[in-house]
Structure 1
């Protein structure tokens, strides 16, 4: 790289949405290296490796909006006064209309706002300003323009999104559970927790006045070994994971529509007998579970196909999911032949809509159809679980979790093409708990391309996660404001924040939440932009508060009444060990063993011990524990303490109900720690079945302590 004009590249970066400096976790201002700025700008389609490239990219960036007649996308809040800029050859007539979602048309009126014309590639381009009516209904609309003396030239339409001012609010102040579904292994599980196990947990919770169950992301992975264990690194955020299907439910579903022969019944029984042995293993083995679950599901699919079953619900879901579902089925079929990572596929299959992909799809139509069928089956079972949760008395029911991103070689990255940035991944800079930063190995959305596409990929993803959910948790919602981009080859600490259009991202989220009638919970932990929490609260979206991170200005644990109302409060989170483990400093043992502590381990232990002592003293002063409480007494007291907070929602970790001590995830690691593969155990480290868990005295104590009272 040969950059001498640092001011120019920093100006270009700032205009393009990059933050050239930021506040580090130690309270010091950090400057982003010019090499990092150049790499990130390149990922945004703005070459910046030399002074000449920077100058050319700056000119092109300035000219981009002038090259379109109407903006590619405009987002406005309902009831607000807003205008849009329209660009036409200088002196040309133009007529602009809003084509509404219901098919009606509204003429836009031009307003006085003189702007000098711009010389663009040798032609003068003028800018006209048009007012958007304040009474436009919420929804997905279009802006269309006719240009020329006779208004005969139709310019490409732009997307117009009118969004609500707020999202649905929880009906009542309540408590619920949060869990990693794969850990909920019952005596009938096939080595991994499934949707029937989730239904059992919701029933147990509802009987104790819980109003929701928050589950880890249930998004899809390629059907190829090795299956990615992290629920936060899926192949797609639009489709589900067949591993969570309940085979017995699937068999009953098929049996209601066609006869299941004896040999199929015997096959399913034999596979189930092998699969349940996996429940005795001290590891979640997704490959072993799928190796048994897939042939069972294929046998049922073959029956479905041979009987030519027509199911109205399946047909409707397939119609609504549309072309993305069909492409996903093809992606899975290709994965079976060429591997799970599309970046290693033959070049002729690298483009989702290429001719060779269409030929492959035709040649492997039945295999692709199988994966589409699995998604239809997942829809039916997820719908059943949510229905049972609401029928049992839960006001919210299932809360789905939307991960930050997807696998760089996965189905979404393959399907969305230019909507995702290449050559960069996302993560977070260094903080108190991850002093080397984190690289999540996921490509980010390109904010400019999302706008160019009218946010359609984002909208479709939201509609999928809101389906069969009473609420949705957005992991790292701070990424809706800015996201830490890390150029390939850099360490996690050597990245920069890239701003997104938060008004558009949050507005569309509010629109889709309103249509789904669902609550939004934004996980806003970490380095928080100052405007983020105010923006969430303004929209009626909840944040997230974890007891160990909440302190008053005078250095004591935050009093329950001082918690913000607009949040989901929890004692712990999946990036920390369960509460019993945290109290025993299990997280420091792991980080010391893996070399993840930047400073002295003795100092880290002393600091964490002081933190715990201050919290326990707060419990003691509240009369919740005595002078020498047991570890279990402290765990129960912490839940009773936080249940009395001002937070609208309070979440209880299912691992805490078991007395588990092992963390499910150690941030900043890959294979150094068995992330997302740790089954649930009790305080003594014994494997715990779901039935044992829900019948345990500790679970009963914590549930009783967690009930909310007005």
Structure 2
């Protein structure tokens, strides 16, 4: 099969369309406006609506008119005309190549200090960065630190996260120690001890006013995530095994549970507050020590199909198919990674909001970002559930790359 063109079967194509929610959808009517359009800041937009239009910029300001559109600033803007909508993604076509820099990659879990022992922490990471700074290094890279499954430590993997827009509290420094520290990390022993120590810290003193401000800023999204974490303690790690009434985060049953479990919800929100604060402080210390970029983070290619991210934002993902890789010499049978892919139909409909939020969150804490399997911005290999072979799904490449350029706002790395 190597070197030969492979044509996806009708069954595979039907299954992948169904995963995108298009199995019973009528053909979309043709529109005058494209669904998305890319342009560059300070240059003509290159799109002229036929009639009156309304433009809403990313900052919320609006302009109405006819004919040619005004030049646009960097960002994601919404154009409406004749009952149609087009997302305008304004970013440089190319970013300048960076000068060559060097740094160190280290798996955070294995940065085991003599003072804490057990799994590595954000404090251990900061200390390593401070030691690395005087050497002339520009960055310190680590594995993904997305929120994982606190109630399923046996299945922990940084590349199979529960939520990529939330941070792993697993690496918060605590007074917890492994009872029998050794060369092998045993997460089913480590994680409960660390969580117990963190909860003791949470109970010992009320969080300061910064926590309340954080809750207001993060709003409903954080509340949903923290509610998911509390429900996971009650029903298990994966929402597809919960009672059906709790599958929908907007259900009355979930609202009642959030009320009944308010203390647990607040605790898990505090864990996020603490983890984000620790990671921000680590980045500050890394750059203060002389690392030009500071932290070099890693974005997992997908998310667990039944974790917090898909529970909170179901429509952004395709169900009934998983990310994977086609057959090759390494894996002649192909690979199924059991990760939920972004649904390109919904991404376009929402102006790539989920992708933008994911990139934005990672870049809050880093000077450089590795995007795992970035080929997926152009095409992603999906494997349908069942026994069907997989196929490539074309992604809106130019939009994904422009979005990355806009959120990076600096040399591509």
**TM-score, normalising length: structure 2:** 0.92
Structure 1 residues 39 and 287: CA distance shift in structure 2, 3 A: same
* Alpha-carbon distance in 1 for matches of 2:284, 2:323: 36
Match of 2:369 in 1: 472
- Offset of residue 160 of structure 1: 3.3
* 1:46-61 superposed matches below 5 A: 46-47=22-23, 60-61=26-27
- Offset of residue 196 of structure 1: 1.6
Contact kept? 2:323, 2:337, Cα under 8 Å: yes
Match of 1:376, SS state, is helix
Match of 1:352, SS state, is coil
* 1:571-582 superposed matches below 5 A: none
- Offset of residue 388 of structure 1: 1.1
Match of 2:205, SS state, is helix
Q: Deviations over 1:217-238 (max 9, x none)?
A: 0000122034432110000000
Structure 1 residues 309 and 320: CA distance shift in structure 2, 3 A: closer
Match of 1:286 in 2: 187
* 1:143-542 superposed matches below 5 A: 143-145=79-81, 155=83, 159-167=87-95, 169-170=97-98, 172-247=99-174, 268=175, 272=176, 275-280=177-182, 282-305=183-206, 309-311=208-210, 314-490=211-387, 494-514=389-409, 519=411, 541-542=412-413
Could you tell me which of 69, 73, 77 is aligned with 1:137? 73
Match of 1:83 in 2: 47
Structure 2: state its 5+ residue gaps: none
Structure 1 residues 29 and 315: CA distance shift in structure 2, 3 A: same
Question: Which has the bigger relative contact order, CA under 8 A and spacing at least 6?
Answer: 2
Contact kept? 1:168, 1:513, Cα under 8 Å: no
- Offset of residue 75 of structure 1: 3.9
- Offset of residue 374 of structure 1: 0.7
Contact kept? 1:404, 1:475, Cα under 8 Å: yes
Match of 1:260 in 2: none
- Offset of residue 203 of structure 1: 2.3
Contact kept? 2:48, 2:69, Cα under 8 Å: yes
Match of 1:132, SS state, is coil
* Alpha-carbon distance in 2 for matches of 1:467, 1:318: 17
| Total equivalences in the alignment | 412
Contact kept? 2:45, 2:72, Cα under 8 Å: no
Contact kept? 2:111, 2:120, Cα under 8 Å: yes
Could you tell me which of 97, 100, 123 is aligned with 2:54? 97
**TM-score, normalising length: structure 1:** 0.55
Match of 1:433, SS state, is coil
The structure with the larger Rg is 1
- Offset of residue 316 of structure 1: 4.7
Structure 1 residues 31 and 144: CA distance shift in structure 2, 3 A: closer
- Offset of residue 338 of structure 1: 0.5
Contact kept? 2:153, 2:191, Cα under 8 Å: no
* Alpha-carbon distance in 2 for matches of 1:43, 1:353: 22
